[in-house]
Structure 1
């Protein structure tokens, strides 16, 4: 043991690539593997914390190579030799080291893991709660309609009570047909969540919302129907009061959330740790949403369990989190340690605490 003080001595990186059960397609791109960079932060007292960051070229604007480069050249030099007990200053330095949110998230999650280990409590307790189980929806990517219907039936048979359907990949008429057909196949008790991933203009989205509402299906919300910067469009759709509107790509940090909340532009906000740069900013966003009466969802990219475990912990202990979309657990061919699955229920033990 190099010393008794909790000083950051070394930060090691390891690329991860986990093949998916099947390709996953949205209106923006197709993904075939859960790619991530694992981060191991070593303290001089021998403690090691683990985290991971997942890049997404169309959402966070990064790749595996840029993520690793930013970690090596910007983030790691800013933190080596720092005392983890100087927590607020440490997080400030981390968030100022780069603009690449997955890089920040990867290290911040490792630091939270370290902090929990330093005081010998689970991450959930560090975040303020004891609950360790959440119920997730399951997402159906854009593909041939018979394949989407087959997936819907399979997910329902496994106990999922909510299906998230990707839309916006072509004609609105095709989207409406997908939603109607999947809803019929799934049954009336299954909640539907639609995600357009910025695919529509405001005018197109107004038509889509009107026609989807007319179907009178059990739709929880339409997620990011217009471009991320189109706050006016989100506000217009929300003011229609026909279907709840959720922001995703529009919100990375607290200021993004505040911009939408202050003009009552959305009903819900999707919090993803890869967008927020980790747990600290996520907590600020959730608290701001709660103060405006706006509930949140905790979602994810297609990630490894090293970042999904803290996402589950965050969702489990924050009362304002109403929806959970952490289905990446089920998308990889080889199941990973750290998360127990029972149908749609995800349970973490002692999050990343025994690693």
Structure 2
């Protein structure tokens, strides 16, 4: 029987080709903790815990300490083939620390897939290695957004995720500029990243509806903790509302469902703690007729590969939100996923297909 014998961490900072700007932050790098889990047969799996202060509040130092301490203690010596039991041990080892738990959970799945000689999406039940994604338009003025939108559609992206929430008074004009730039056939969805009050959200979304701008959905219009406000907005607009920062784990999704606070949910591994919980969230949402998407934080090809594998295996009701690794100036890895226009192409190789650092 092979056992988990080593858990290591390494910090990485990956430059982006374009600054990533939202209502919450601006960054020019993806900062993350790379996690490696190795079994007694020498098989190594990869995971990562991204640092996004304004969303998860988890730091690189905190993730390192959590992985090296209680999470490593929980998995060291466990059966490398008993994936379900080991992932339960990870989930129960600490409170919070979803990014760190997600990194170890993904690395354990990567080990299991490599031991079986199958890709991670196949391990999860997928029959495809290709997943469509949207692309984010970073927050900016109307002219800059329109120009970027034209560039992205020329690159093959058919769904644009426009960052709003920085100024409710001018958000509708920015959306209109993007729609004028790309025409009626390109999908436009909005992400306010908690940037509006409930009244602002209803005012802006209603204005967009009145203008007939064809917005597919609006993601996290109000503060994450304001479920009453989220429900108030959802009840007063026709445009579907998606919960993101409001949902980390199962209790959060149950609360959203109970209050009918949103029409859809965006499942992210660094929020929910990994593939095990991510799959359960998708199943629960579907059981209650909620729409689903799989997304990511600003992560590298490791975390993004895991998220894309989940999307490939479980499917989503709207195009997935998997462009995070596309923003990297270049991949820091040998192997792993690649982008073919608006499609994430997962490798036909064991696990995540990561062979090492470039």
**Which residue number corresponds to residue 352 of structure 2?**
352
The count of residues paired between Structure 1 and Structure 2 equals: 350
Residue 198 of structure 2 is aligned to residue 164 of structure 1? no
- Output the aligned Cα RMSD: 1.5
Decide which of 233, 238, 244 is 1:242's aligned counterpart: 238
Q: Distance in 2 between matches of 1:85 and 1:158?
A: 42
Q: Secondary structure at the match of 2:318?
A: strand
Aligned to 2:38: 42
* Aligned 8 A contact 2:83 2:109 in 1: no
Cα shift at 1:299 = 0.9
1:109 and 2:106 are equivalent in the alignment: yes
Match of residue 69, structure 1, among 65, 75, 99: 65
Segments of structure 1 that go 5 or more residues without pairing to the other structure are none
Structure 2, unmatched stretches of 5+, are: none
Question: Aligned runs of 1:219-234 on 2, under 5 Å?
Answer: 219-234=215-230
- Alpha-carbon separation, structure 2, partners of 1:109 and 1:117: 12
**TM-aligned CA deviation for residue 281 of structure 1:** 0.5
1:326 maps onto 2:322 in alignment = yes
| TM-score normalised over the length of structure 2 | 0.94
When the two structures are superposed, what TM-score results if normalisation uses the length of structure 1? 0.95
Question: After the TM superposition, which residues 287-298 of structure 1 pair with which residues of structure 2 at under 5 Å, given as runs?
Answer: 287-298=283-294
Distance verdict in 2 for CA 1:37–1:150, change over 3 Å: same
Alpha-carbon distance in 2 for matches of 1:163, 1:328 = 13
Retained in 2: the 8 A contact 1:298–1:321?
A: no
Per the alignment, residue 251 of structure 1 pairs with 247
Using the TM superposition, name which of 41-50 and 87-96 deviates more. Answer: 87-96
How many Å separate the matches in 2 of 1:281 and 1:315? 13
What is the CA deviation profile of residues 134-174 of structure 1, one whole-angstrom value per residue up to 9, with x for unaligned ones? 1111101112333222211110101111111111112x221
Alignment of 1:129 with 2:100, yes or no, is no
**1:147 matches 2:114:** no
Structure 1 residue corresponding to 2:24, chosen from 28, 31, 40: 28
After TM superposition, give the deviation of residue 86 of structure 1 in Å.
3.5
* Shift >6 Å, 4+ stretches: none
SS in structure 2 of the partner of residue 271 of structure 1: strand
Report the 3-state secondary structure (helix = DSSP H, G, I; strand = E; otherwise coil) of the residue aligned with 2:27. strand
Distance 1:136 1:185, change over 3 A: same
